[in-house]
Amino acid sequence: MASVGAQTDLSPYFARVSDNPLEEAFEDARQAHPPGGQIPVASEDHGAVWRKCIETPRTRPGMAYVHIPFCENHCLFCGFYQNAWRPESGPGYVDLVLRQATQLAGKPVLEGPPLRALYFGGGTPTALAAAEIGRMVSGLRDVLPLAPDCEITLEGRIHSFTPDKMETAFRAGVNRVSLGVQTFDTDIRRSLGRKATREKVLATLQRLVACDSGAIVIDLMYGLPRQTSETWAEDLALVDELGLDGVDHYGLNLIPGTPLMSAVEKGKLSPITRKDLGAFYAQGFEAMQSFGWHPISTSHWQHPDLRERSVYNFGAKTGWDYFGLGAGAGGFVNGIGAFNTPILEEYGAKVQAGAAPFKGMSRASSLAPIVNAVRAGMERARLDSRAVSAGFEQSGADGPHTTELLLPLLNQWQEAGLMERRGRFHDLTLAGRFWQVQMTQRMTRLLSSQYLPADQADYGVRALNAAKAMAKQKRSKENVS
What confidence tens digit (pLDDT) does each residue in 81-120 have? 576 768 788 999 999 999 999 999 999 999 999 999 999 9
- Give how far the C-alpha of residue 316 lies from the chain's centroid of Cα atoms, to the nearest Å: 7
> What's the CATH code of the domain at 68?
3.20.20.70
The per-residue pLDDT string of the chain (481 residues; one tens digit each, 9 = 90 and over) reads 443 344 678 999 999 999 999 999 998 765 554 445 678 999 999 999 999 999 999 999 999 999 999 887 656 555 565 767 687 889 999 999 999 999 999 999 999 999 999 999 988 999 999 999 999 999 999 999 999 999 999 999 898 899 999 999 999 999 999 999 999 999 999 888 788 899 999 999 999 999 999 999 999 999 999 999 999 999 999 999 999 999 999 998 876 767 777 777 788 878 888 889 999 999 999 999 999 999 999 999 999 999 999 999 999 988 899 999 999 999 999 999 999 999 999 999 999 999 999 999 999 988 899 999 999 999 999 999 999 999 999 988 777 788 889 999 999 999 999 999 999 999 999 999 999 999 999 999 899 888 876 655 554 444 444 444 444 444 333 332 2
Could you give the C-alpha distances from 294 to 222, 250, 308, in angstroms and in order? Answer: 19, 16, 11
Q: 71 lies in a domain?
A: yes
173 part of a folded domain = yes
Strand partners, 234: none
Alpha carbon distances (Å) from 356 to 115, 120, 182, 326, 375: 21, 20, 36, 11, 30
Instruction: Please report whether residue 453 resides in a domain.
Output: yes
In order, the DSSP letters of 123-180 are: S-GGGS-HHHHHHHHHHHHHHS-EEEEEEEEEEE-GGG--HHHHHHHHHHT--EEEEE
Please give the torsion angle defined by the CA atoms of residues 299, 303, 304 and 310, in that order, rounded to the nearest 10 degrees.
-60
Q: Is 350 inside a domain boundary?
A: no
**Cβ atoms of residues 10 and 463 within 8 Å:** no
Q: Is the peptide bond before 123 cis (omega within 30 degrees of 0)?
A: yes
Burial of 208 (0-12, 13-18, 19+ CB in 10 A): buried
Q: Do residues 301 and 442 both lie within one domain?
A: no
Instruction: Report in angstroms the alpha-carbon separations of 371 from 2, 337, 402.
Output: 18, 15, 11
The residue segments making up the domain with residue 398 are: 11-37+367-457
Q: Phi and psi of 322, rounded to 5°?
A: -155, 140
Domain boundary among 316, 344, 359: 316
Do residues 292 and 176 both lie within one domain? yes
Whether residues 146 and 232 fall in one domain: yes
CB-based contacts of 142, cutoff 8 Å, min separation 6: none
Residue 321 is assigned to a structural domain of this protein? no
Inside any domain, residue 59: yes
Give the pairing of strands 70-71 and 425-428: unpaired
- Asked whether residue 32 falls in the same domain as residue 47, the answer is no
Which helix (H) or strand (E) segment is 443 a member of?
helix 436-451
Measured between alpha carbons, how far is 38 from 399 in angstroms, rounded to an integer? 19
Clarify whether residues 281 and 428 are in a common domain: no
Indicate the SS3 state at residue 470. Answer: helix
Q: What is the pLDDT of residue 265?
A: 76
Q: 41-75: per-residue pLDDT in tens?
A: 999 999 999 999 999 999 999 999 999 998 876 56
pLDDT score of 306: 95
Please check whether residue 153 is in contact with residue 120, taking contact to mean a CB–CB distance below 8 angstroms.
yes
Q: Does residue 212 share a domain with residue 80?
A: yes
Task: Please tell me the predicted confidence (pLDDT) of residue 449.
Answer: 85
Alpha-carbon distance of 223 to 207, in angstroms, equals 29
Same domain (yes/no): 104, 32: no
Same domain? For 282 and 382 the reply is: no
User: What is the model's pTM?
Assistant: 0.90
**Count of CB atoms within 10 A of residue 84's CB?**
12
One domain for residues 112 and 178: yes
Domain count, the chain: 2
Helix (H, G, I), strand (E, B) or coil at 326: coil
Residues 85, 24 share a domain: no
> Which of residues 257, 282, 316 is at a domain's end?
316
User: In sequence order, what are the beta bridge partners of 340?
Assistant: 358
* CB contact set of 376 (below 8 Å; sequence gap of 6+): 314, 317, 318, 319, 387
Do residues 451 and 398 make contact, with C-beta atoms less than 8 angstroms apart?
yes
Q: What is the pLDDT of residue 79?
A: 57
One-letter amino acid for residue 205 of the chain: L
Q: Are residues 19 and 89 in the same domain?
A: no
DSSP letter (8 states) at residue 295: E
CA dihedral (68, 315, 334, 450) in degrees, to 10, reads 120
Note the pLDDT of residue 275.
Answer: 83
Instruction: Please state, as a whole number, how many other Cβ atoms lie within 10 Å of the Cβ of residue 86.
Output: 10
> Are the C-beta atoms of 85 and 93 separated by less than 8 Å?
no
CB 231 within 8 A of CB 280: no
Polymer length in residues for the chain: 481
Predicted confidence at residue 5, as pLDDT, reads 40
Pair 277, 254: CB distance under 8 Å:
no
CA dist 41 and 283 (Å) reads: 45
Q: Find, among 293, 277, 291, the residue nearest to 222 by Cα.
A: 277
What confidence score (pLDDT) does residue 36 get?
53
Please name the amino acid found at residue 106: G
Q: Are 410 and 383 in contact (CB under 8 A)?
A: yes
Exposed e or buried b per residue across 24-42, where buried means at least 16 C-beta atoms within 10 angstroms of its C-beta: bbbeebbeebbbbbbbebe
Residue type, 209: V
- Cα–Cα distance, 84 to 71 (Å, whole number): 5
For residue 8, the model assigns a pLDDT of 77
Q: Which of 316, 338, 355 is the last residue of a domain?
A: 316
Inside any domain, residue 325: no
Domain assignment of residue 4, yes or no: no
Residue 260 neighbours by CB under 8 Å, 6+ apart: 76, 77, 192, 225, 254, 269, 271
Give the pLDDT confidence score for residue 3 in this predicted structure. Answer: 39
DSSP state of 328: T
Q: What was the pLDDT predicted at 453?
A: 67
Same domain, residue pair 76 and 26: no
Q: What is the signed CA dihedral for 73, 78, 80, 81, rounded to 10 degrees?
A: 20
